[in-house]
Amino acid sequence: MTMLSAYLYVTKVELKNQTRYATETIIRSSLVFMILLIYLQLWSYIYSLDNSQMSHLLPKNNMLWYMYLVVVAELGRFRPGKEIETDVVTGNIAYLLNRPYAYLLYQYFKHAAGAIFRTVMALVFGLGLVLLHTREFISISGTSLLIFCISYIFAQTIDFLIHAIIGIAAFVLEETNILRLLCQKLVFLIGGLFFPLDFLPTFLQNISAVLPFRLTTYAPAIILANFANVDVANIIQSQIIWILILMGCLMLLYRIYSARVTINGG
């Protein structure tokens, strides 16, 4: 068995575990209804107040589909930060580092299973609701769907890397909840979770442009919601660059701090 097939097997096993607790996951996924309903009702009302200016930036139905996609992206996250923090604080990481696999890759493929399952649940649970408000499917081509899928995987990978770095920070901080909370707020405010970045003031758009958070939420959603009017090449290029930057930072921190761990239980 090659290393890649071994990691994919981890994903397969975890995916089976997810299906065993499908009822619990479905109940949690029902939150999609409440969150998405609030978003759809709110933005439908906002558009009814000032349709001309808002529609110039993004037509109403495109906006509602955008909100659906960002909710799916947010619920489909696979964030290992808390688990990595627990491994570091409890000392369990000393045991895990001695196992015949790369710890961070194991975390990626393990958490990917839950992300896949939650993404599917969010897509299914939210689809009927967004169709109820828009009464039509968004215009999708094979090209836009393919690029969306690529961007979505990149987006989730960027989010994974950010939260893995936060988890590794437990070597220094021990408690990293405040960093996770800060990231969540940044995604909400300048990452496109509450509204597209096109609606932000120019100075906030400039701040968002130099940070990776817009690439985790706004990027894949706007590609599918407004494919004809976005610079797809720039988005994908930015995602690849940030993946490389974050991967480099994560590997550097991981090597520095894991080297301090005494493998034989110390």
User: What pLDDT, on the 0 to 100 scale, is given for residue 266?
Assistant: 46
* Sequence-distant (≥ 6) Cβ neighbours of residue 87 within 8 angstroms: 93, 96
Question: CA 130, CA 38: separation in Å to the nearest integer?
Answer: 11
Question: CA 200, CA 185: separation in Å to the nearest integer?
Answer: 15
Q: What are the tens digits of pLDDT across the range 191-207?
A: 998 888 988 889 999 99
pLDDT at 251 over 90: yes
Residue 130: how many other CB atoms lie within 10 Å: 24
User: What pLDDT, on the 0 to 100 scale, is given for residue 242?
Assistant: 97
Q: Which residue has the tokens 């995987």?
A: 153
pLDDT at 123 over 70: yes
pTM: 0.90
Q: What are the tens digits of pLDDT across the range 78-100?
A: 888 888 888 888 888 878 877 77
- 197 close to 205: Cβ distance less than 8 angstroms: yes
- CA within 13 Å, CB half, 87: 21
Q: Computed from CA positions of residues 157, 158, 162, 163, in that sequence, does the dihedral angle turn out positive or negative?
A: negative
- 119 close to 75: Cβ distance less than 8 angstroms: yes
